[in-house]
Structure 1
Amino acid sequence: MSLPQYWRTPLCLAPRALHPWLTERGSLTAMLMANFPEISVKILFQGWQKAHADEAHCLNKAQIACREVLLQSKQIPLVYAHSITTSAALRRGFHLFGRTGSRPLGALLFADPTIRRSNLSWCCIDQRHPLWQKAQTAVGALPQRLWARRSTFYAGHDRLLVTEVFLPALSALPSGPIA
């Protein structure tokens, strides 16, 4: 699987305070829980939709199953997460995807030792990107640019593409994350 060129942005271009968040290979939710009180998942959308232009080729499908959530601390949005997979993957390797509810998706992905993860990719998105637009719809006014990361999880031949957009409140930690 290849990502569009702009998802290969050099990490050195991201704000230093975001580096630990962008590069965490384990559960982002666990890292958030170590740094913020009362992490919760707010479901924004779960259903079928057309894949965005920069993700359709990742799954070789135009119509995908999608889950969009906000990871928040005390109602303060920290991360907008957008996860997609195919209908076939919902019947096989990622059959729990549609039944996650308000539980963090990472809790399922990192609990299963057979699920593998690709390398992480980074990108600075702006108001032209559909995920920036969706994040703004969910949380209100946003800076002109936001950093995001993307990776693919594999369960056998099935794939799940996860994109996490880091919101301004995440950088409120004065000295960066503790975990």
Structure 2
Amino acid sequence: MPSAALAHPPRWFTASQLQPSPSDQVHDWLFVNQDSLTQRLTTLSADNFSVTPLSEGWQRMRNDECAALGVADGSQGWVREVYLRGHGEPWVFARSVSARSALEGSGLALAQLGTRSLGELLFSDHAFDRGELHACHYPGACLPKEVRAERLWARRSCFSRGKLAILVAEVFLPAFWAATQIER
């Protein structure tokens, strides 16, 4: 991850804190629907949905991620970055993190997901509770080079099961908005 991404992490807001508010259609994708984004993208793509892993492994988490997970700044975590694709196009960049201290010994093998959606796993395990959704304009410096752009809408929430917490951020890429025909 570029060092600029660590210096300027995203600033996340609840729906009531987000100013100016997005359009109703954008708001719906960011906050209204609590169901699995995987399911919504599968429906939108008429079952032409896939996951492309970009990177995963132990690394230092960003300070905003550490704060959301309630661990010390600079903590190690499992970081997984993927594209959620519709019709082969990257529609969403997803970044999921979990603190090493909570993940080790949890029995959850994130390293074995491969091309399976993490959302599919989290929503199929009813022991996970989903926290409040937050949104922001995601910093371009935090995105992969090939999709880097400024002011892309993103949302994130924390899924927890006992002491295990997984923070999932989803950045809606321009091809997604083109597919939905929603002005962002």
TM range (shorter): 0.7 to 0.9
What whole-Å deviation, never above 9, does each CA across 1:122-157 have from its counterpart, x for those lacking one?
111233xx42xx23x1x3453x21111111000111
Contact 2:135 2:154 in 1 (8 A): yes
Q: What TM-score, normalized to structure 2?
A: 0.80
In structure 2, the partner of 1:111 is: 124
Q: Normalising by structure 1, report the TM-score.
A: 0.82
1:58 is displaced (CA, Å) by 2.2
State the partner residue of 1:63: 76
Q: What SS class does the counterpart of residue 110 from structure 1 fall into?
A: helix
Partner of 2:181: 174
Unaligned ranges ≥5, structure 1: none
Structure 2 distance, partners of 1:117, 1:68, is 20
Question: Is 2:170 aligned against 1:160?
Answer: no
Q: Deviation string for 1:74-114 (max 9, x for gaps)?
A: 22110000000022433344613221111000111001111
- The reply on whether 1:28 has 2:60 as its aligned counterpart is no
Gaps of 5+ in 2: 1-8
Aligned-pair CA distance for 1:5? 9.7
Root mean square deviation of aligned Cα: 2.3
Pair 94,117 (structure 1): closer, same or farther in 2 beyond 3 Å: farther
Conserved? CA contact 1:71–1:81, under 8 Å: yes
Map of 1:120 onto structure 2: 133
Q: CA 1:93–1:20 in 2, change beyond 3 Å: closer, same or farther?
A: farther
